Amino acid sequence: MTERIAELAAEHDRSAAFPAESLRIAHEAGLLTATIGRPYGGQGAGVEETARILHRLGRADPSVALIAAMTLTNHARQAVQPHWPEELYARVVKESFERPVLLNHARVEPDLGSPARGGLPATRARRTAGGWAVSGTKRFVTGAEGLDWFLVWATTDEPEPRVGTFLVPGGSPGVEITGRWDQLGLRASGSHDVTFRDVEVPYEHVIGLGPYGPAAEQDNRAGANLHLPLAALYLGVARAAQSFFHTFAHARVPANLGHPVARTERFRRTAGEIEVLLAAAEQLVFDGAARVDTASPAYTPEQALGARVLADRHGVRAVELAVRLLGNPGLARGNPLERHFRDIQCAPVHAPQEDIALLALGTKALNP
């Protein structure tokens, strides 16, 4: 399954087309529904299994992995703490077992930026006779053109405004992609800008509607179920880069050397450093994920944040070492290493970014 997705990855990167075929393959393998809770008929995959799924998908095509990650984490949250309207979620689950059903939050805004840094959304939900009319623009909505459900974070227009997540079906009248994703890496992730113009939402299709305050802000410490799988996803990218590095080292035989460069001390030393970086990061991420699954009281949210910071650093550094040693071939568009180098640059971009994570870690360290 992952081999076929990997075969399609280069073309998806070139065209930036939505990877529908790859997501269909992942769905048929049961990967898009792995975290649906057992009470809903799913297998209830935990954080460690989710991390391993995304590690494998990230190695094949990180754009596909990131789209899958958003769906998997939404189901995982519902399994741990049900918050969707029950009848609606039951319908989503039924459809999810039949075909790829994609879910993702729409939170980042042009003026607000990432909610990880606080602030009230400018997107507005206007009260109507039958529910809500949602209007506003969101940025970086991964998988936008293929989403079945947008989870739109918005503020009500009531005299005393409330904030909540409004469940908007994909393809609803008034939903439009208004800015195309054209980035260095993860080019097929379809993380477009989406504008909502008076999109109708039934009154009861809202999650967590309440006054704005600490309870409504994004808790950057509490997201271990997303931080660790995301870190694993990008470690998968680094492993793919490592694999090409090894292939190149065995195949490259300079005329003046007479044997593969894999036998030189310089390549062996770099190969060792790359392996140390990735093995250590994977141990941090997978062991941490296992401890989250067992609800170990000794494993803190700060440790999950720290594991992700180190994993991102190690992944980026490992790919950088491979590119640097290969020189021009490492940056040639015809080699997959160039694509892996671009994709791994996206690792530190996900919220909460490193400075926010380190602030949380430092606050805890200074105030144990």
Tens of pLDDT, residue by residue over 153-165, are 999 999 999 999 9
Contact 216, 163 (CB under 8 A): yes
Written as six digits, the tokens of 99 are 């075909």
Residues 25-28: contacts with CB under 8 Å, at least 24 apart: 25/1, 26/1, 26/57, 26/64, 26/68, 26/100, 27/99, 27/100, 28/1
**Residue 357 CB contacts under 8 Å (≥ 6 apart), including other chains:** 220, 305, 306, 308, 309
pLDDT band at residue 215 using 50, 70 and 90 as cut-offs = very low
Q: What per-residue confidence (pLDDT) applies to 214? A: 52
Max mean pLDDT range (183-197, 296-310, 347-361): 183-197
What does each C-alpha distance from 30 to 67, 68, 144, 305 come to in angstroms?
15, 11, 21, 28
- CA gap 201, 203 in Å, rounded: 6
- 335 has a pLDDT exceeding 50: yes
Written as six digits, the tokens of 313 are 């650093």
pLDDT for 355-367, tens place per residue?
999 998 999 999 9
- Report the relative pairing of strands 103-106 and 149-156 from DSSP bridges: parallel
- Of 92-96, 116-120, 196-200, 282-286, least confident by mean pLDDT is 116-120
Helices and strands of the chain, counted as H and E runs: 10, 8
pLDDT band at residue 220 using 50, 70 and 90 as cut-offs = low
The strand ranges marked E within 52-203 are 103-106, 124-127, 131-141, 149-156, 162-169, 175-179, 192-202
- CA atoms 270, 271, 272, 277: torsion sign: positive
Q: What per-residue confidence (pLDDT) applies to 221? A: 65
**Residue 47 CB contacts under 8 Å (≥ 6 apart), including other chains:** 76, 224, 225, 228, 229, 289, 290, 292, 293
39, with CB counted inside 10 A (0-12, 13-18, 19+), is: exposed
| H/E stretch holding 207 | strand 206-211
Residue 221, helix vs strand vs coil? coil
Closest among 10, 330, 2 to 188, alpha carbons compared: 10
| H/E stretch holding 211 | strand 206-211
User: Would the pTM of this model clear 0.75, i.e. be above it?
Assistant: yes
